[in-house]
Structure 1
């Protein structure tokens, strides 16, 4: 049986203690649901996307910490993360991420093959984002695509197509993400320059 300390470590690994990240991922998805659903999206579709957003954001946080485990200890804001402190092993973090992603996939499977097909690039974006800081000068733009990919998926789920409006919404989300994530990244600027991460 897991101890309370271990549950707390998993809670922090998945950033459920910091729900603003859930909202930053949820808002674009809700925009897509409301617009694609003409103000009245199907309740089942909405529940799948809301729960899927929470699950995939939590899985993404675990994957991000796996990717950054060698640097997080050197950055003031992240030095107490469970992987950086050794409270959770890399294997445990992978199991958490895979378990959460599998649950999200099971939910998506209830929406039909087209949405399942669109979930593949969405998963790729989520898994690859943490590594973009190694080679992209503006990983915030990649984050914007990853965080906004629920927009075209909602249109597929509710309309069976991805109209131009969905892509404009995604572009707007990329611009918004670059703005807020750049401001957020400035907190770590001095430490990131020392360790060579381009965030």
Structure 2
């Protein structure tokens, strides 16, 4: 991969690019220029609300989950950049991140983290106590995530636990408790996250090898395409199990065909050595999330 193939992790474009420099740097630190992150965090929660039958009655919950996803994804990025500031400065794609480049001070980073967390707290108090407790339980996973790339070849699996957590929150808030359907939905989301974040990690595979950062992309090596295919297949099978628990009808499983087809397209067209191709396939998971949401909506509202 050449320098020209590398897409910087922060880009001064769109509305973010028009902000004053000091505000823009904070927006870049929270990745407001990269909305794909909050969509990926949001979708599992929206799936749970829809599959749990709350799409109409709890439409406001979906909005709160979106707000919470934007704020907490931003907070997670700030925390990650504070912890990884030295590593980020040594990787071409992440060297321009505000803290790694020195555009935002460490003190300002911590203050911004507190502000974003306060927004998350506002969302938290909208939940009933059982769901709020489930949401709070995710904080330990979030705090540990930046260190996983130093101790395991599969930090993507840990990210799966974190980025799928909204499925548990949404399910408990919508249905009032845990159930096998919610657990299968969560497990399927974990497999999905491992697949798409392995694709994302392909952009850094050379730099990661030089600085000693571990990833599933490096662990899979030349088997990355079948590896991603396996995780995506597991995701679809687990989602099928969740749908079957809610509506044991073969016709209900047909709702999964669009998202399954989209994931198959990602694998079929993935070029692991092409960073731009990998980034495009990764970003297309916003559409995969939407297709899965529509599947859950169809099944959940047909009860």
TM-score (norm 2): 0.62
Q: Out of 172, 185, 188, which is 1:156 matched to?
A: 172
Q: Post-superposition, which runs of at least 4 consecutive aligned residues in structure 1 deviate over 3 A?
A: none
Match of 1:26 in 2: 42
- Structure 2 Cα separation of the partners of residues 41 and 135 of structure 1: 44
Q: Is the 8 A contact 1:33 1:46 kept in 2?
A: yes
The aligned length equals 197
- Structure 1 Cα separation of the partners of residues 110 and 137 of structure 2: 20
Q: Is the 8 A contact 2:88 2:97 kept in 1?
A: yes
- Structure 1 Cα separation of the partners of residues 63 and 112 of structure 2: 22
1:136 deviates by 1.6
Where does the alignment leave 5 or more consecutive residues of structure 2 unmatched? 1-18, 216-303
1:81 deviates by 0.5
Q: Is the 8 A contact 1:22 1:57 kept in 2?
A: yes
Where does the alignment leave 5 or more consecutive residues of structure 1 unmatched? none
Asked if residue 7 in structure 1 is aligned to residue 23 in structure 2, the reply is yes
Q: Out of 38, 45, 52, which is 1:36 matched to?
A: 52
Q: Is the 8 A contact 2:156 2:198 kept in 1?
A: yes
Match of 1:93 in 2: 109
What CA RMSD, in Å, does the superposition of the two structures yield over aligned residues?
1.4
Asked if residue 134 in structure 1 is aligned to residue 135 in structure 2, the reply is no
Q: Out of 78, 81, 97, which is 2:97 matched to?
A: 81
1:35-54 superposed matches below 5 A: 35-54=51-70
1:38 deviates by 4.6
- Structure 1 Cα separation of the partners of residues 57 and 141 of structure 2: 25
Partner SS, residue 85 of structure 2: coil
TM-score (norm 1): 0.94
Q: Is the 8 A contact 2:45 2:171 kept in 1?
A: no
